[in-house]
Structure 1
Amino acid sequence: MKVGIIFGGPSREREISFAGGRTVYDNLDKALFEPVPVFVDSLGNFILLDWQFIYKGTIRDFYPPVEALPESEHGLQIYLESLGELSIAEQDKIIANAGKRLQPNEFKEHFDFAFLALHGPYGEDGSIQGLLEWYHIPYSGSGILPSAIGIDKAAQKKLLKQNNFATPDYRTVQYADWAKQEQREQIFNNLVADLSLPLVLKAPHQGSSIGVSIIKENNFAAFEAAMERSFFTKTIYKSQWLALGEEKQLMSMKQLVDIREGIGMPVMLEDGTIVYHPEELLNKINHTFNTSATDSLTLTNIEHEQQVLVEAFIRGKEFSCIVVQNEAGEPIALPPTEIVKGSEVFDYRSKYLPGLSRKITPINLPTEQIQQIRKATSKLFKDFGFNVYARLDGFITDNGEIFLNDPNTTSGMLPSSFFFHQAAEIGLNPSQFLTYIIRTSVAERLKTGKDTVKLTRLLNKLDKAIKEEQAHRGEKVRVGVIMGGYSSERHISVESGRNIYEKLSSSTKYEPLPIFLTGSNDEHRLYTIPINIMLKDNADDIKEKVHYFEQGGKPHPVLAEIAKEAESITRKYTGRSLEEPQRITYSQLKNLVDAVFIALHGRPGEDGALQTELEKLYIPYNGSGIRSSRITINKYETNEILAQHGVPVAKHAMAMKEDWEKDPEAFFQSIENEFKYPFIAKPADDGCSSAVKKIKNRQELQAFAKLIFREMEELDSDCAVTLQLGFKEEFPNKAGFLVETLISREGAKHFLEITGGLLTKYAPDGTVSYEVFEASEALAEGEVLSLEEKFLAGEGQNITPARYAADPERRQKISDKVKEDLRRVAQILNIEGYARIDAFVRVLENDEVETIIIEVNSLPGMTPATCIFHQTAINGYKPYDFIDRILQYGMERTKMKAEV
């Protein structure tokens, strides 16, 4: 069956939709479905997307294409809507760079079924559903009417009350009333009188917690700013703006035009002028404040909200519950998840970056109360006429009262989303859950009485294919995917491992087995884990669950009951039931798998320790061998070896804890004598941007040393403030750290940070040959590339291929030189399988190239948003193809060693 995955769109959630579309594209069972990517741009054009672009980190990385972008003095990032009023011909030219324009009447030529991964207005509100019905295309999820209800938080409130559901008390504030300045304080006072503090403010048509604020105190200024945030308007005051200075004005502008945190573009000024480009807006603000007596400027997004929903604050546990239908059409509420967050609002960052919040499934309550939540959400699903699946959120108070809120007909589809997390509790992996969604959606469309002959045939064909696939499952190559670990990189390792698992589980060739590693350097503890534990929120949650079962814990009674209720679904799509985690030895591992994919980062994983154990038993594995791994894990040793071979690296030195303990002042002076501020300090054997800091003065150096050399697990709060550590940012504990000069332009005409991937294969004579990919240019918002920019969908920007020069021919010549430098590094270090090499590149006047190596990752991050997949796509490898090549190399290497 050809499945058109419709994703992107005009909404503020387009980046999450883009990442969710990629998840669906990768996870659709390739034995049953052929995925067809249909990207919707922010003007609503449908584009049959060239598949390579799916693996870009953000929409802005490829659309609009670089050649369509106007000059931007400050390099401000934009979406298509910032190019102004474009003619159809101009739009077609832009579209042609990404794929082929699709008219809705052409849909049926390209796909049999539409999987909707769109969010927000136009995607969840019945618009796309109506369009697809008009053109006789079956689609996923709810129909037109429930979708229209599911998008409008204010309309939902009325329906919830009419159907006798407890929901927080609320009021709405109309934009026309808010626009009258003299009424604003009265509006605030009335709301406080009616609803009491705290107040929860929401933009009624947005998801992903966009436009949500909580006002805790009787503070009108805070309320006014929060209302503007929900309406997507912003008043800029002249005195405050001019006091910022140029650098902070630029940072403020970046936040202002951000579609999630700010108001987005285009904006309308008070005189009705529409400004499209952020650069134009920056100039307009500066010109207005520098040439006129105006004290303030109000900017309003042209698609701002017409009203704001204001709710009473509910004190209680917050939960989210996915409700699905069985084949009889009856709702089954999956186990509700409790959201434990670090701040009042479960915001965009907390939702989508692993490790920042905790999802506890099922919610930590007595069984009776969990069942009450399930009963209430199932009733709401039925009363609102939802189909196939929905995500229903709410609160339960200390006295057991259940308040339901924000029913959603579409859920986020990132690997860490509730959507997959809860489905795993009945034993469905993401690939199987998507099959369930498609099959159930076709059956739902059939109930409408439209296209019954066509839909019946489609359903019968799919049922037959599902049965056939079950019969051939035992013929696949078994791959143990090892994830987790005990370093500060453990959460990213789990993300990488899950991504590898999901790519393999949707293939026709491999049967993956998730394996969690914990313990210490002295003793690795390996556990086979079921899908529901693998999809826990982060490595610490997985470890907790593994230990719970190891100590004799039993599955939660609610989970057992839901599994029983969902038996008909589980039997059809998996053919098996969930098992408990089992501790295994390396010898037992050999009997369970044909090969291993190590998805660990740092120690253990990249240090040769695991490789040593696997080689003893001739278990094939991915990546470099023992000796090479032992070198590349240590950035200092890697630098030393490369420098000996004449490869440019930063000036570097190790700073040791014993010297710091002996004489702190001498320790700091010795560093300052050798390195000028600012310089880089980082752990020598951790990756994922863990504790990489630009040190600008003695105070920061002292804070860095105190944190990395600490005896306690907790971080000193003053040091954390000095180093501006983010919420829940991990800082490893080490006996030494690496100090490096800050690599700078030094007169080069072009200077950029790049990351380049490579793949190895055996030549016919048994030697190793290297395929080096086009490198990505990494753009950091702050002083160094952050964890979010590397791994969070929609954050950061990686331009692939890197922009070494404007002229394509010159760019390619420079790129070839850089690739040759990266190949030489790989040969010196005897890299095998695949790797990622990070570097700075200086392009000099005569196009001479200097490639300064920063670090070598022998097991690079393999999360869905990582840029190595952008690079492999240029060479024609989808992520699965790349992973397949990596495994093939490992199996060939082991076979050759066994034959010697």
Structure 2
Amino acid sequence: MRIGIFFGGQSREREISFAGGRTVFDNLNKSLFEAVPIFIDSLGNFILLNWEYLYKGTIRDFYPPAQFSPESAHYFQIYIESLQASEEELDAIMRSVGTPLQPKDFATHFDFAFLALHGPYGEDGNIQGLLEWYQIPYSGSGVLPSAIGISKTIQKDLMVAAGFKSPSKTTISRNNWLNTSIKETIYQEIKQQIGLPMVIKSPHQGSSIGVSVLKEDNFSLFEDAINRSLFIKSIDLTHWKSLSDSQKRSALITLTDIREGIGLPAFHEKTLIHTPDALWHYLDQAASAGEKHIQLTSRDSEEQVLIESFIKGKEFSCIVIQQADDSPMALPPTEIIKGSQLFDYRSKYLPGMSRKITPIQVDDASIDAIRHECERLFSALHCQVYARIDGFITDKGDIFLNDPNTTSGMLPSSFFFHQAAEIGLTPSQFLTYIIRTSLVERIKSGKNNTLLRQQLEKLDSQIGQMHLANKEKNRVAVIMGGFSSERHISVESGRNIFEKLSSSSKYAPIPIFLTGNEAKHELYVLPVNIMLKDNADDIKEKVHAQLNGQHKHPKLQEIIQQAQPLTEKYTGGSRTDFQAIDYAQLAQMCDACFIALHGRPGEDGAVQAELEKHAIPYNGSGIASSQLTINKFDTNELLRQNGLLVADHFLVWEDQWRANSQNLIANVEAQFRYPFIVKPADDGCSSAVKKIKTREEFVAFTELMFRPLEGELSAKEVAILQLKANEEFPKKNFFVVETLIEKGNAQHFMEITGGLLTRYAADGSLVYEVFEPSEALATGEVLSLEEKFLAGEGQNITPARFSRNEAQRANISAQVRAELEKAARVLNVEGYARIDAFVKIYESGKVETYIIEVNSLPGMTPATCIFHQTAINGYKPYDFIDAILDFGMKRLHKTAHV
């Protein structure tokens, strides 16, 4: 069956929809379905997307394409609505990334529409109605529940009428708010009615966009929150004038972000401003003219703000699915433990930023009550197939449900897959369930029934045949986790590898969690529900519970039993049980191993040594190369000796610091001028990489790095370094100081990251395929964890924009890639790797490439830019992973015959 995956769209959640569409594309079972990517741009155009663009980091990385975008003096990216393209230009833009489609042509390209859209135009019944008009079956709820589900205000009214508990609420219209002179009086009246704290929401947004919690009795904060929900921003031009260019750039990136800011185009009075560069110029002109403030309003603003009383209690989210008899079944509700008051965008989508505990930590009767209320709401709103329902339970046991979503986020770490795993379904199997159940639901509409029944019968037959074929696949152990500060990203990488392999017709992956310490690696086979816990610490907690004889929660057992008829259909009765193993047992279980670990252990050769003892083929570099590249200092020393450009560097040791900190500071300041870079010598993923501008910051960094215990970080040093909530900061006994590499007198300067893949030539020699590098644009001083690995974050442009002239760009790229290959050969890198570097391009044509670091097991999360690079060379993510495994197996065979 050809599955048209609809993603992107016109809402502020388009980036999460884009990432969710990619997840669905990758996880659809290849034995049953052909995935057809249907990208909807933010003007509402449908495009049959060329598959390689699906692996870009964000929509703006490929659409509009660089050749159609206006040149930006400050390296801003824009969405298509900022371009002001003519009809002819827009058609050319669409054709440069795929094939424009009209709805009347849908049926010639796909048989079923899987909707991974969010917000307006995606969850509001519009696309559902369009698909019904053209007789295309689609996933999820129909027109009516979708239209109800998009409006928080209408939902609340219907819920109250149906007897659901609801917080006190009121609304403010946009017109009343903007046209009144008594805003403070309105605040006092609302405070009297609602009380503090209060929650201020945009009624038609999801992903916590436009949501604020007001805790203080402060009118100014209330005004800011209302404006945030209306997507209005007041700019202090005196402050703007005082900012440096880099500060202005960072401010505008935040301001024009469609999730955290107001987005563009935006109005100032009657002037419509389309691009960040135009806005920069406009603000400069207004400030020079002596204006003190201007107010910007998004062109796509809300017409109303919803204000509710704050509910104090445990927050949860619950997926409800439709059973074969049409009755709703709530999956085990998940408790959300946040690092801040608000479960915001970053907390929702970046692993390790919040905790998801399933089932919620309340008594059994309360779990039953939550599930019952969620099922009741599912029926009351006439939802179909599945829904995600969020809520709170108070200490008194009162249950407040809010914001039912007829489409759930579909990132690998989302509740959608997390809770399905608790009943034993992998992401691939759960997507099959959604498609099949949606077909059944569309048949009930009485439209096009005969064809839909034929599709259903064929799908059921294929599901049965697929279970028989599973026994013939190659077994691959996917090792994830570890005990470094990179453990959460490792889990995300491992799950992504597992999911790509599990939806293939060639491999049967086995999830393996590694923990322990450098002296003793502990290995555990994971059931899918534990593998899909939110982060490495949650998985480790569940592992220890299993080891201590703590049985599965009785309510989970009950729900699993209830879901058994459903799960057996999609799993064929197969399951993976928890098991503690050693490397010898691992060798008996698998044909190959994919190491998805980052930092230590994994990139240091320790795991590789154990695997080689037991003749298990693995991915990536061998023992000696891994031991070298894990150490940034030793790596750069060797590269410098071989003529490659690297930063000047210096090792700071804890014993030196303890013996005479003032002397060490003097030595550092004698060799390096501020600002300079500090970072751990043997960690990656931007963990604790900081740009140090003052002695105070250097002392704070050093004290944190050499702190006595692993425990909580000192508030003083955290404030000085401006660490984010829950930011990982490893404890080490040494770290590296490096010269800050800057533009200098180069004409062009950028940070790039380049991936590579190796294979054997016919004569047995090693061939390096170095991919087109990506240009990485940091919003802050260094690339953050989110910018590297979180879908929708960061600006990674592939290929890097070395020049606007294509011939010059290709020539510069060839020179840069030659330097990356030289570095890889010097370090004896094998399999695959990612090399980060700075590139300086001079007016004379000279190109300088400064190697920053080499990652022998690069991050393999869905959003990482190595997949953008491999796509240019024709590798889908699965193809790339398959090539990596193939090299590892050939290497073992080659070594065995030497």
3-state DSSP of counterpart to 2:781 = coil
Q: Contact 1:82–1:278 (CA<8 Å) still a contact in 2?
A: no
Between 1:719-728 and 1:274-283, the stretch displaced more is 274-283
Q: CA deviation at 1:246?
A: 5.3
Q: CA deviation at 1:496?
A: 0.3
Q: Contact 1:177–1:183 (CA<8 Å) still a contact in 2?
A: no
Q: Distance in 2 between matches of 1:728 and 1:793?
A: 19
Matched with 2:346 is: 349
Equivalences for residues 489-568 of structure 1 within 5 A: 489-568=486-565
Q: Distance in 1 between matches of 2:19 and 2:541?
A: 29
Equivalences for residues 608-627 of structure 1 within 5 A: 608-627=605-624
Between 1:13-22 and 1:839-848, the stretch displaced more is 839-848
Q: Distance in 2 between matches of 1:288 and 1:628?
A: 57
Q: CA deviation at 1:238?
A: 4.3
Could you say if the C-alpha distance between residues 843 and 603 of structure 1 is closer, same or farther in structure 2, counting changes exceeding 3 Å?
same
Q: Distance in 2 between matches of 1:898 and 1:70?
A: 56
Equivalences for residues 461-472 of structure 1 within 5 A: 461-472=458-469
1:204 aligned onto 2:218: no
Q: CA deviation at 1:290?
A: 2.9
| Superposed CA offset, 1:837-887 (max 9, x none) | 111112223322221111111000000000000000000000000000000
Q: Distance in 2 between matches of 1:642 and 1:53?
A: 34
Q: Distance in 2 between matches of 1:586 and 1:248?
A: 51
1:641 aligned onto 2:638: yes
1:55 aligned onto 2:55: yes
Q: Distance in 1 between matches of 2:780 and 2:268?
A: 30
1:220 aligned onto 2:219: yes
Q: Distance in 2 between matches of 1:629 and 1:273?
A: 57
Q: CA deviation at 1:244?
A: 4.8
One-letter amino acid of the structure 2 residue matched with residue 721 of structure 1: A
Q: Distance in 2 between matches of 1:342 and 1:823?
A: 42
Matched with 2:24 is: 24
Q: CA deviation at 1:284?
A: 2.3
Q: Distance in 2 between matches of 1:899 and 1:192?
A: 79
Q: Distance in 2 between matches of 1:620 and 1:249?
A: 51
Could you say if the C-alpha distance between residues 72 and 505 of structure 1 is closer, same or farther in structure 2, counting changes exceeding 3 Å?
same
Q: Contact 1:831–1:858 (CA<8 Å) still a contact in 2?
A: yes
Instruction: Using structure 1 for the length normalisation, give the TM-score.
Output: 0.98
Q: Contact 1:595–1:621 (CA<8 Å) still a contact in 2?
A: yes
Return structure 1 stretches of 4+ with deviation > 6 angstroms: none
One-letter amino acid of the structure 2 residue matched with residue 877 of structure 1: Y
Matched with 1:107 is: 106
Could you say if the C-alpha distance between residues 650 and 235 of structure 1 is closer, same or farther in structure 2, counting changes exceeding 3 Å?
closer
Q: Contact 2:61–2:77 (CA<8 Å) still a contact in 1?
A: no
Q: Distance in 2 between matches of 1:74 and 1:625?
A: 42
Q: Using the aligned pairs only, state the percent identity.
A: 61
Q: Distance in 2 between matches of 1:549 and 1:673?
A: 54
Matched with 2:482 is: 485
Q: Distance in 1 between matches of 2:842 and 2:256?
A: 35
Give the one of 867, 871, 874 matched to 2:872: 874
Q: CA deviation at 1:781?
A: 1.0
Q: CA deviation at 1:245?
A: 6.0
One-letter amino acid of the structure 1 residue matched with residue 28 of structure 2: L
Matched with 2:769 is: 771
Give the one of 374, 382, 404 matched to 2:401: 404
Equivalences for residues 279-428 of structure 1 within 5 A: 279-291=277-289, 295-428=292-425
Q: Contact 1:754–1:802 (CA<8 Å) still a contact in 2?
A: yes
One-letter amino acid of the structure 2 residue matched with residue 52 of structure 1: E
Matched with 1:76 is: 76
1:593 aligned onto 2:590: yes
Gaps of 5+ in 1: none
Q: Contact 2:528–2:576 (CA<8 Å) still a contact in 1?
A: no
1:844 aligned onto 2:854: no
Q: Distance in 1 between matches of 2:738 and 2:246?
A: 26
Matched with 2:87 is: 88
Q: Distance in 1 between matches of 2:110 and 2:347?
A: 35
Q: Distance in 1 between matches of 2:890 and 2:145?
A: 53
Could you say if the C-alpha distance between residues 239 and 639 of structure 1 is closer, same or farther in structure 2, counting changes exceeding 3 Å?
closer
One-letter amino acid of the structure 1 residue matched with residue 732 of structure 2: K
Q: CA deviation at 1:87?
A: 2.6
Q: Distance in 1 between matches of 2:329 and 2:634?
A: 56
3-state DSSP of counterpart to 2:181 = helix
Matched with 1:630 is: 627
Q: CA deviation at 1:892?
A: 0.9
Q: Contact 1:426–1:578 (CA<8 Å) still a contact in 2?
A: no
Q: CA deviation at 1:89?
A: 1.1
Q: Distance in 2 between matches of 1:76 and 1:642?
A: 33
Q: Distance in 2 between matches of 1:80 and 1:619?
A: 49
3-state DSSP of counterpart to 1:885 = helix
| Superposed CA offset, 1:454-483 (max 9, x none) | 100110111111110001111000000000
Matched with 2:724 is: 726
Q: CA deviation at 1:554?
A: 0.2
One-letter amino acid of the structure 2 residue matched with residue 77 of structure 1: Q
| Superposed CA offset, 1:414-433 (max 9, x none) | 00000000000000000100
3-state DSSP of counterpart to 1:646 = coil
Q: Contact 2:165–2:400 (CA<8 Å) still a contact in 1?
A: yes
Q: CA deviation at 1:643?
A: 1.3
3-state DSSP of counterpart to 1:892 = helix
Q: Distance in 1 between matches of 2:246 and 2:895?
A: 58
| Superposed CA offset, 1:143-187 (max 9, x none) | 000000110000000000010011212111111211223132222
One-letter amino acid of the structure 2 residue matched with residue 866 of structure 1: T
Q: Contact 2:250–2:780 (CA<8 Å) still a contact in 1?
A: no
Could you say if the C-alpha distance between residues 240 and 817 of structure 1 is closer, same or farther in structure 2, counting changes exceeding 3 Å?
closer
Q: Contact 2:253–2:779 (CA<8 Å) still a contact in 1?
A: no
Give the one of 735, 740, 743 matched to 2:741: 743
Equivalences for residues 665-684 of structure 1 within 5 A: 665-684=662-681
| Superposed CA offset, 1:95-134 (max 9, x none) | 1211110011110000000000110000000000000000
Could you say if the C-alpha distance between residues 530 and 768 of structure 1 is closer, same or farther in structure 2, counting changes exceeding 3 Å?
same
Instruction: Using structure 2 for the length normalisation, give the TM-score.
Output: 0.98
Q: Distance in 2 between matches of 1:716 and 1:572?
A: 52
Q: CA deviation at 1:295?
A: 4.6
Q: CA deviation at 1:248?
A: 3.9
Q: Distance in 2 between matches of 1:174 and 1:702?
A: 51
One-letter amino acid of the structure 2 residue matched with residue 296 of structure 1: H
3-state DSSP of counterpart to 1:472 = helix
| Superposed CA offset, 1:261-293 (max 9, x none) | 1111111222x232222222232233234326x
One-letter amino acid of the structure 2 residue matched with residue 44 of structure 1: G
| Superposed CA offset, 1:182-235 (max 9, x none) | 132222112111111111110000000000011112211111110000011123
Q: Distance in 1 between matches of 2:250 and 2:683?
A: 30
Could you say if the C-alpha distance between residues 249 and 632 of structure 1 is closer, same or farther in structure 2, counting changes exceeding 3 Å?
closer
1:686 aligned onto 2:689: no
Matched with 1:253 is: 252
Q: CA deviation at 1:580?
A: 4.4
Matched with 2:180 is: 181
One-letter amino acid of the structure 1 residue matched with residue 11 of structure 2: S
Q: Distance in 1 between matches of 2:72 and 2:810?
A: 24
Q: CA deviation at 1:77?
A: 2.4
Could you say if the C-alpha distance between residues 544 and 577 of structure 1 is closer, same or farther in structure 2, counting changes exceeding 3 Å?
farther
Give the one of 251, 274, 277 matched to 1:276: 274
| Superposed CA offset, 1:496-540 (max 9, x none) | 000000000010100000000000000000000000000001000
Could you say if the C-alpha distance between residues 329 and 845 of structure 1 is closer, same or farther in structure 2, counting changes exceeding 3 Å?
same
Give the one of 559, 580, 602 matched to 1:605: 602
Q: Distance in 2 between matches of 1:820 and 1:71?
A: 28
One-letter amino acid of the structure 2 residue matched with residue 388 of structure 1: V
3-state DSSP of counterpart to 1:569 = helix
One-letter amino acid of the structure 2 residue matched with residue 738 of structure 1: V
Q: Contact 1:427–1:577 (CA<8 Å) still a contact in 2?
A: no
One-letter amino acid of the structure 2 residue matched with residue 403 of structure 1: F
Number of residue pairs the alignment of both structures matches: 897
Q: Distance in 1 between matches of 2:881 and 2:693?
A: 41
Could you say if the C-alpha distance between residues 470 and 120 of structure 1 is closer, same or farther in structure 2, counting changes exceeding 3 Å?
same
RMSD: 1.2
Gaps of 5+ in 2: none
